[in-house]
Structure 1
Amino acid sequence: MDFGLVWHDHLALVEFAYNNSYHNSIGMAPFEALYGRRSRTPLFWDKVGKRQVEGPQLIHQLTDAVDIHDVFHVSLLRQYVADESHILHLTEVQLDQDLSYVKRPLRILDRKDKVLRNKSIPLVMVQWQRRGTEKASWELESRMRAEHPELF
């Protein structure tokens, strides 16, 4: 079906068709799985026979017949329970002249040797600027010594 250059005008209808079509993976339509009942529409998906209207005219006819809104049902809302971990602490990020951000290492937390079959690879755990210790990562010691000798 050709929607021309205004396919996004018909996105709501495509979403409606997807949510009300049978899916083998869940054994029902997604609308039915979410709300526990079939969608009530003036459309008859089960009619068999030759279509009288095809193409963009069908889309316009269906759009007029189905009232589609970009809303959610109030029954899906739940009471918010306050939690200290939900608070975001914003820090100012310093950007370079070209508006890029380079993450810089803050300190080395640990060191270990990764032993393979016949060689050993020295690694260091690096804590990065503006990242907690839980976001530290293992990096090659040789690369960190070359790029950031001030850490050693």
Structure 2
Amino acid sequence: MLRDCILELGGSWYAYLPLAEFAYNNSFQSSIQIAPCEALYGRRCRSPIGRFEAGETNLWGPDLVQEAMDKVQLIRQRLLTAQSRQKSYADKRRRGLVFTIGDKVFLQVSPMKCLMRFGKRGKLSPRIIGPHEILDRVGAVAYRLELPLALSFIHPVFHVSMLRKYISDSYQAFEAPVTSLDEKLSYEEEAMTIVDRQVRKLRSKEIVFVKVLWRNNTIEESTWEVEKDIQAKYPYLFQSRGRYLN
């Protein structure tokens, strides 16, 4: 809903947030089978689109409290039903991975361009690091790993979905490049060169964009970024102005 408002209203979308909030609070929710406003106040909100007689409520004291408690129990049951349904959908795609203490596993990381928005991820960028040894099992679906000193600032407990089993092969051993990670297990991709330059007109303003080629990515995976942001972060790319790749 918010995405549609932003696309439709452009830069003034924040001024219409109360309308979006009103529409959301009065929309039917499949998880609780009623609208959030009706769940909170016990009645639907009156609006010009759907008018109805509000009626009168004669509940007082214990009767009002009992009705509220009954509604809370009903909503909880419906939420549990919705959670169970979503869990059954997710379990169809999950694998029952179980590791033992001493096993070595790869750790899955998520690459991220440290710009104002997320860009297209490169196919050749590393997705896993390691291997790392399992030190302990925490609960049913989490494991504690032995991380190197370079990753000492990261909490060593990870969900099983982020781990991949490591199979030792002495004939294919090689030294993996060192990747700098942040606290969210993401790394910053480095811009290599400017491929193209383009001026786009947005309302009454002209914004200059540059097409950036990132390290470990192909020329087809280059992304368009705002020139002033790239120039502030990678000034050396603009020393030879007007020379771009073809």
TM-score w.r.t. structure 2 length? 0.24
Q: Which has the larger radius of gyration?
A: 1
TM-score w.r.t. structure 1 length? 0.38
Higher strand share: 2
